[in-house]
Structure 1
């Protein structure tokens, strides 16, 4: 008899609605593309199913400024204009959908911290470009940043690791915690000289007391599995040496070969490998806590397969 699953999957209509209209690359069909693949592999029967909720104003304000939250609420009512310089359009209901992404990630974090699950995955999450005071790159609220703040405020943790294998640099997280020595940050991404947001050079290693607690590894366009594995060994060593109390993984699938917005060439297997290895690190550190967030990915086949591989790795670990 198999043991019951200890992996929480947070999915549902509330986060499926987070997507932009009129053929935008981040469309609302991404959730369903993932769910079809997950179900075809039978993985939906091997997890605990959780549901999203809208984050509270207090939770959002743990990372974002009140002025920015007010702006999103206002634009959400009108559905007019953009929330940034032109990548992230407003639409009616965007505030509620973006708040649900944050709430979904917080539900996952709480479940792991409270012992209801050992690992967790949220497909529509990992919105790593939003800053404390603004939207950016399809990201309205930064659920990663809110999760870090809530792990500290609600659960009393200090040393947290954030790992990002999305093709785009996780600038919203990096700059929010650039001078924070207790936030370990490791990011594999396409070289910013070739891709939005243009940040994440190797020299960006943290500032002040946090110098050396941040690891940025830009890879050239066309980087494939050999380059991934060479870089990943550095990430794994860096994270384990930092001895975090919790590990967050942003596993954007736009680093898989064939994405329409990027130029990377990872196979779909890299994402599952990253998840499995981080689970092993978490286990060696004695707590086992890993929460993975889907992030980017605009080729539906790629994201479905890469994220299903992450869920499989979480189950198998």
Structure 2
């Protein structure tokens, strides 16, 4: 197997960014790439161009009615896809489909043995539900990944690890009753931050009881608190021996993000990536895909995502 990390970047992904000063602007990928290039990481990873998902792929997670709604809004180029966080713009359907398609291309290449790990900065849109947009997220790329892993590759036990400052509600509730999706989500306490979910007693329902771990962090929590929480994450994942690992490494949990109140440094993200790469080697034949998620302070997201990429390319 080739040991390279595939890095998905390109204009089609950069277009998934909202205009007019929106926090999730189209400059986020470029901010990351400048820092990754400064560190020489672009030479250690294999760059891959974005790919746009087709309708059939999107319907693996999303409802046809919802896809039609997004198409209409994309053609009109105005209005909102939710209650005010996620504005439509011309071409938003195609931009969001590029997020999903790039993730699926990375999955295919990983499963065919071209690479061991992937990183996609513009991805991890974890608030999108099957039938609606939410929180800057139009299509849930990781949800489509999970469905594709099952349909095309026969992978059942998938670990979804989310360290974005916001709870990954779109993934969590889609699989809340699914015992084979192992969730570990470390986020700011929902009593203080959108979307207000992810409480510690939310551990899965029915036969999935106990397969989900939510770790709400108090406002102001820093690296030391994260490292302690991470021990619980690893213990949880090891209980279920996942066959595939997905990391959503939102950088909005770093100190100074304008939308949240945690105070991590990029060391937290480096630690998560390093430990998950090792865990994936132990249980999942090395199969690990990482997605940038949130992050609204450009220097923060540049350093956090570069720290993740550095660990992925340097991991054994």
Q: TM-score, normalised by structure 1?
A: 0.98
Aligned-pair CA distance for 1:186: 0.5
1:4 and 1:62, CA in 2 relative to 1: closer, same or farther beyond 3 A?
Answer: closer
Cα pair 1:5 1:48 within 8 Å, conserved: no
Of the three residues 20, 25, 28, the one matched with 1:27 is: 25
Cα pair 2:2 2:116 within 8 Å, conserved: no
Aligned-pair CA distance for 1:127: 0.2
- State yes or no: 1:181 paired with 2:198: no
| Aligned equivalent of 1:290 | 288
Cα pair 1:5 1:46 within 8 Å, conserved: no
Of the three residues 216, 228, 231, the one matched with 1:230 is: 228
Which whole-Å CA distance do the structure 2 matches of 1:240 and 1:37 have between them?
A: 33
SS of the equivalent of 2:124 reads coil
Which whole-Å CA distance do the structure 1 matches of 2:283 and 2:143 have between them?
A: 23
Aligned-pair CA distance for 1:247: 0.1
| Aligned equivalent of 1:66 | 64
| Aligned equivalent of 2:38 | 40
- State yes or no: 1:242 paired with 2:240: yes
Aligned-pair CA distance for 1:226: 0.9
Aligned-pair CA distance for 1:16: 0.6
- State yes or no: 1:112 paired with 2:110: yes
Higher mean alpha-carbon deviation, 270-279 vs 107-116, is at: 107-116
Cα pair 2:119 2:309 within 8 Å, conserved: yes
Aligned-pair CA distance for 1:6: 1.3
Cα pair 2:50 2:98 within 8 Å, conserved: yes
SS of the equivalent of 2:153 reads coil
1:236 and 1:143, CA in 2 relative to 1: closer, same or farther beyond 3 A?
Answer: same
| Aligned equivalent of 1:267 | 265
Cα pair 2:245 2:284 within 8 Å, conserved: no
Cα pair 2:242 2:284 within 8 Å, conserved: no
Which whole-Å CA distance do the structure 1 matches of 2:112 and 2:247 have between them?
A: 19
- State yes or no: 1:199 paired with 2:161: no
Cα pair 1:5 1:47 within 8 Å, conserved: no
Which whole-Å CA distance do the structure 2 matches of 1:211 and 1:59 have between them?
A: 29
Cα pair 1:80 1:91 within 8 Å, conserved: yes
- State yes or no: 1:258 paired with 2:256: yes
Aligned-pair CA distance for 1:167: 0.1
User: How many residue pairs were aligned?
Assistant: 315
Instruction: Extract unaligned runs of 5+ from structure 1.
Output: none
Which whole-Å CA distance do the structure 2 matches of 1:222 and 1:125 have between them?
A: 26
Which whole-Å CA distance do the structure 2 matches of 1:112 and 1:272 have between them?
A: 22
SS of the equivalent of 1:154 reads helix
Higher mean alpha-carbon deviation, 85-94 vs 105-114, is at: 105-114
Aligned-pair CA distance for 1:286: 5.2
Map Cα deviations across residues 280-308 of structure 1 (whole Å, 9 max, x no partner).
Answer: 11111250111000000000000000000
Map Cα deviations across residues 31-75 of structure 1 (whole Å, 9 max, x no partner).
Answer: 100000000000100111111111111110000000000000000
| Aligned equivalent of 1:164 | 162
Cα pair 1:88 1:136 within 8 Å, conserved: yes
Cα pair 2:2 2:113 within 8 Å, conserved: no
SS of the equivalent of 2:255 reads coil
Instruction: Extract unaligned runs of 5+ from structure 2.
Output: none
Which 4+ residue blocks in structure 1 deviate beyond 4 angstroms? none
| Aligned equivalent of 1:310 | 308
